[in-house]
Structure 1
Amino acid sequence: MKEKLVKYLKDLVEIPSVIGNEKEIADYTQNFVERYYPSSNIVRYNNSLMVFDEIDQSKKTLALVGHLDTVPGENDFTGQIIDGRLYGLGASDMKGGLAVMMGLMDYFSDKEKRFNLIYVFYEKEEGPYVDNGLEPLLSEFDIIQKADLAIALEPTDNKVQVGCLGTLHASIIFKGKRAHSARPWQGENAIHKAADFLKRLADYGIHEYEFDGMKFLEVMNATMVEFSGGRNIIPDKFVINVNYRFAPGKTIEQAKEDVLKLVNGEAEVEFTDLCPSGNVCLYNPVLSELIEKYSLPVEAKQAWTDVARLSLYGIDAVNFGPGEAAQAHQKNENIPLENLYKNFEILSDFIKVEK
């Protein structure tokens, strides 16, 4: 199976699938899954796919979830194996996980499983929350909701990452009065009006938050600015994009209140791209068995993933994948092949019927 896993991953990284251009990789994936499942068990929605077993009520159900898209990037060694690492855009985030999903589908094509399996391959994960291709699969169909546990094979270095931070973006809009920079008293500098807020934001620091024994770090940062005018004009508008990463247990409304409190009425606030936090589901019996059986390290997810979206639909979900988190979105992205093999070995052993 190791050779097959490498082949699947090479095929995947050699298909460009930058967000918004997933048709070719979705077609490839559909051709692959049609070898193993009848059309009645395959759903294609735009450039996303769901593939599922006939549900046997005597078994628990496991969903394996992976996104097909990548961020834009460069890779000088696509498809090459160097020092035990396979290179290619998306190798770690998260085509390595997709290759494992394909390997499991192949492996169990003639073997008994103790779980019903649902495979989810979806588009547009790397972009705005509202465009994400997992959402229509959840809202238009009820297949994934049958899962007792969903595993997103995001890059986690083969650690189980539970929960995830919520995230929101807010435009903090300071308004002034335009004037010539030689006569600033005739105007009101919108940039200068932001000084007190920026000081409070810089001092916000790191807020540690513990949820179900997992430590999450809440942070709030300015990430972009825009202004009106030019270098010899007192600007009448200055907009700061603030990104707030907030812990599980906090609702989007509570997170919005945190931002409004920091702004203190000094500017207008427009909230954009609101993404909920993900549940910490360590109580889940399937997850507990997986962790205990293989002595897997467990940590909090200090970022956002679609575990949060799955949580909104009442689905217990975690991140557990072969990719290296540090390689995600890097130039010349790569994945250690040993990680790939280990992830497959753990999941295949967990899923198989013990004799």
Structure 2
Amino acid sequence: MREKLVEYLIQLVDIPSVTGNEKEIADFTHNFLKNFFTEENIIRHNNSLIAYDEFDPDKKTISFIGHLDTVPGINEFTGQIIEDRLYGLGSSDMKGGLAVMMSLIDYFSSKEKRFNCIYVFYEKEEGPYVDNGLEPLLKNYDIIQKSDFSFVLEPTNNVVQIGCLGTLHASIIFKGKRAHSARPWQGENAIHKSANFLKRLSDKEWKRYNFGGLEYVEVMNATMVSFSGGRNIIPDEFEINVNYRFAPGKSIEEAKKDVIELVNNEAEVVFTDLCPSGNVNLDNPILHEFTKKYGINIEAKQAWTDVARLSQYGIDGVNFGPGDPAQAHQKNEYIPLKNLYENFEILKDFLSI
């Protein structure tokens, strides 16, 4: 099965699928699924796909979830294996995970499993939160909600990453009055007006939250600025982009309130890219069995992932994928073949009767 696993991955990385350009890889995946599922058990929504088993009510249900798209990038060694690493844009993030999903479908096409399985291949994960292709699948079809547990095969080096931070961006807009920089008394400097806020933001301590021994660090940072004017103009507007990564269990409304309180009515606040935090589902029995059986390391997810979106629909899930997170979005991205084989073998064994 290793040869097929590698073959699937080579085919996947050979198909360009930068966010917004997923039709070719969705067509490829759709044609693949037709070999193993009836049309009645395949759902296609734009360039996203769901395929699912005939459900046995005596079995629990597991879903495997992966995005088809990549960020833009350069890879000079696409499809090549060099020093036991397979190269290609998206090989780690996350076409290696997709290849594992395809290999599980292939392997179990003639074998019994102890779980019902749902396989989700979706578009536009690497773009804005509101355009993400998983949301319409969850909103328009109830099939994924049948999952008792979900594996999202994002790159984790085969470590289980549980929960995730929520994230939001806020434009903090300071208003002033335009003037010539030689006569600043005729204006109000919008940049200078931000000084107290920036000092409070700089002094704000990181908060650490512990869930069952897993630590999540809540952080708020200024990440970008823009202004109106020029080198010899007192600016009448100064905008700071603040990115807030907030702890599991905190709602978006609570996170927005934290930002508003820090601004202290000194500026206008406009929120964008509001992404919920993910539940820390340590008590899920399938997860407990899985981590205990294979002695897999468990980590807190100190970032955002679509397990948070699953949480909004009452679905427990974790990130567990073969890709190397350090390779995500890198030039000449690769995946260690050892990771690929190990991830497949673990999931195959877990599903086997």
Instruction: Tell me whether 1:289 sits opposite 2:289 in the alignment.
Output: yes
CA-CA distance at 1:203 after TM superposition: 2.0
1:87–1:334 contact (8 Å) kept in structure 2: yes
**Distance (Å, rounded) in 1 between the aligned partners of 2:98 and 2:225:** 36
Identity %: 73
Q: Superposed, which structure 2 residues align to 1:186-265 within 5 Å?
A: 186-265=186-265
- Partner of residue 156, structure 2: 156
Amino acid at match of 2:42: I
Q: Superposed, which structure 2 residues align to 1:76-155 within 5 Å?
A: 76-155=76-155
1:210–1:216 contact (8 Å) kept in structure 2: yes
| Deviation per residue, 1:324-348 (Å, 9 max, x gap) | 1111111111110000000000000
| Deviation per residue, 1:181-221 (Å, 9 max, x gap) | 12111111111111111122122242211123310011111
CA-CA distance at 1:224 after TM superposition: 1.3
Number of aligned residue pairs: give it: 353
**Distance (Å, rounded) in 1 between the aligned partners of 2:117 and 2:45:** 19
Amino acid at match of 1:148: D
**Distance (Å, rounded) in 1 between the aligned partners of 2:319 and 2:119:** 15
CA-CA distance at 1:291 after TM superposition: 0.4
Runs of 4+ with deviation above 4 angstroms = none
1:71–1:329 contact (8 Å) kept in structure 2: yes
Amino acid at match of 1:292: K
Q: Which shifted more, 203-212 or 311-320?
A: 203-212
- Partner of residue 185, structure 2: 185
What is the DSSP-based 3-state SS (H/G/I as helix, E as strand, rest coil) of the residue aligned with 1:346? helix
Amino acid at match of 2:341: Y
**Distance (Å, rounded) in 2 between the aligned partners of 1:212 and 1:16:** 41
**Distance (Å, rounded) in 1 between the aligned partners of 2:33 and 2:338:** 25
- Partner of residue 44, structure 2: 44
Q: Which shifted more, 228-237 or 168-177?
A: 228-237
Amino acid at match of 1:305: T
- Partner of residue 278, structure 1: 278
Return 5+ residue gaps in structure 2 as ranges.
Answer: none
**Distance (Å, rounded) in 2 between the aligned partners of 1:18 and 1:184:** 48
- Partner of residue 306, structure 1: 306
- Partner of residue 54, structure 2: 54
Amino acid at match of 1:324: D
CA-CA distance at 1:174 after TM superposition: 0.4
1:169–1:241 contact (8 Å) kept in structure 2: yes
| Deviation per residue, 1:90-120 (Å, 9 max, x gap) | 1111110000000000000100000000000
Over aligned residue pairs, what C-alpha RMSD do you find? 0.8
| Deviation per residue, 1:52-101 (Å, 9 max, x gap) | 00111000000000000111111121111111111111111111000000
What is the DSSP-based 3-state SS (H/G/I as helix, E as strand, rest coil) of the residue aligned with 1:17? coil
| TM-score, normalised relative to structure 2 | 0.99
**Distance (Å, rounded) in 2 between the aligned partners of 1:131 and 1:256:** 21
- Partner of residue 24, structure 1: 24
| TM-score, normalised relative to structure 1 | 0.98
**Distance (Å, rounded) in 1 between the aligned partners of 2:3 and 2:184:** 69
**Distance (Å, rounded) in 2 between the aligned partners of 1:132 and 1:216:** 25
Q: Superposed, which structure 2 residues align to 1:60-71 within 5 Å?
A: 60-71=60-71
What is the DSSP-based 3-state SS (H/G/I as helix, E as strand, rest coil) of the residue aligned with 1:104? helix
Amino acid at match of 2:173: I
Instruction: Tell me whether 1:346 sits opposite 2:346 in the alignment.
Output: yes
Amino acid at match of 1:168: L
1:211–1:249 contact (8 Å) kept in structure 2: no
Q: Which shifted more, 219-228 or 111-120?
A: 219-228
Amino acid at match of 1:268: E
**Distance (Å, rounded) in 1 between the aligned partners of 2:240 and 2:77:** 38
Return 5+ residue gaps in structure 1 as ranges.
Answer: none
CA-CA distance at 1:270 after TM superposition: 0.7
1:154–1:321 contact (8 Å) kept in structure 2: yes
What is the DSSP-based 3-state SS (H/G/I as helix, E as strand, rest coil) of the residue aligned with 1:208? strand
1:224–1:242 contact (8 Å) kept in structure 2: yes
